[in-house]
Amino acid sequence: MSETILPGATIGILGSGQLGRMAALEARKMGYRVHTFSPDRDSPTGQVADCEVAAAYDDLDAVESFARDVDVVTFEFENVHSATADAAARHAPVRPDGTILHVTQNRLREKAWLRERGIPVAPFAAIHDADELARQLTVIGRPAVLKTAAWGYDGKGQQKLDSDTDPTTAWAAMDTDEAILESWIPYSLEVSTIAARGLDGTIAHFGVIENYHRNHILDLSIAPARVTGRVVDRAMEITEAILTGFGYVGTIGVEFFVTGNDDLLVNEIAPRPHNSGHLTFDACPTSQFGQQIRAICGLPLGDTSVLRPIAMVNLLGDLWSNNRTPNWSAALGIAPTVHLHLYGKAEPRPGRKMGHLTALAESTGQAEKQVIAARKALRPDLNQR
């Protein structure tokens, strides 16, 4: 076990969005200083950090200078080039390790890594041109989904290929040199696990979270998930295998498809805290972000119990459309256990995650109803779930 990094030390975060912001808030509660590095100024993380460094991720001299001033480095999203993590590692430990970033930021490398270890994934193939796409469609079958191999999130860079989709047209629309073709999975539910592994190999998890998407963006999360014990046990088994296989240090999110017979397929790995785990801020003694800080600093992991059923909805920039301000008082008035989290983003844009609401209740069904009612109260004129 490496030397523990104690409160009073400085944590460096590569990235400056809402995940970094929430990690920084937890770090500062524990007495750490926080520096953040990204191309942006007045960023969500920068607003609550001790120091905000604005430079390009490929400015490796700036990255090395940043790392010299901190005691440990972590990242808040996976679309940071692994060369950036490697540059930081010359001066401070990077946790999780940059090699994990290299694997998980490319869907082909990630799926191959999982398949090599016997972890279940959908059938897939590498695609580099339209002819290869046409050939592999005869193997994978239709419907299928075509995704860019790298730099995709929230459904960007992917399309469904049905029986009448022309491969040449589909490939031209991708605008990429490398993609992954995956079999379309007729799943019954999407779930995720959030877990952490400490420097000493200890693993702690937050159970299974039930997720619903709208336009490929996470819309609603519920914990604990309304699934069978078989699904919970298998999800934990797979998640622990991933953490151990990577020699991971930090918090991780794993997304799964649940099939009709309660089998699981891994959809994606997030080598960081995950959007569905934001509800741990209000439901658990230790949030996923607090757990991230504990893990990367070599401290004992915290209690991950879900103390009460909880539901969370994302708040997108659409809520600010037509220059309207959402009615925060109305939302919080739905129930005293409704909580508001805003990310400090100045410009609301359609589809942009601006914050989230949570609701705690005596049952998951009641929590779901309350949080959906709270979001509707923000803008009753909008067509919302």
pLDDT digits (tens, 9 = 90+) for 315-332: 999 999 999 999 999 999
> What confidence score (pLDDT) does residue 153 get?
62
> What confidence score (pLDDT) does residue 372 get?
98
Question: Residue 59 CA to chain centroid, in angstroms?
Answer: 25
pLDDT per residue over 85-106, tens digit each?
999 999 999 999 999 999 999 9
Distance (Å, rounded) from C-alpha 177 to C-alpha 175? 7
Sheet architecture: strand order including 158-161: 124-127, 179-183, 144-148, 158-161
Q: Closest Cα partner for 155 from 219, 101, 98, 104?
A: 219
Q: Are residues 287 and 214 in contact, defined by beta-carbon separation less than 8 angstroms?
A: no
Return the CATH architecture of domain 10-94: 3-Layer(aba) Sandwich (3.40)
Local structure of 37: helix, strand or coil: strand
> What confidence score (pLDDT) does residue 1 get?
41
Q: Rounded to 10 degrees, what is the CA torsion of 39, 42, 43, 48?
A: 130
Block residue for tokens 């290869």: 132
Secondary-structure class of domain 123-183 per CATH: alpha beta
Supply φ then ψ for residue 266, to 5 degrees: -75, 125
Counting runs of H as helices and runs of E as strands, what totals does the chain give? Answer: 12, 16
CATH code assigned to 189-378: 3.30.470.20
Distance (Å, rounded) from C-alpha 252 to C-alpha 4? 20
Q: Which residues of 113-140 are buried (b: 16+ CB within 10 A; e: fewer)?
A: bbeeeebebbbbbebeebebbeebbeeb
Indicate the pTM of the whole model.
Answer: 0.96
Q: Are residues 216 and 290 in contact, defined by beta-carbon separation less than 8 angstroms?
A: no
The residues spanned by each domain of the chain are 10-94, 123-183, 189-378
Block residue for tokens 């309350």: 370
Residue ranges in the chain modelled with pLDDT below 50:
1
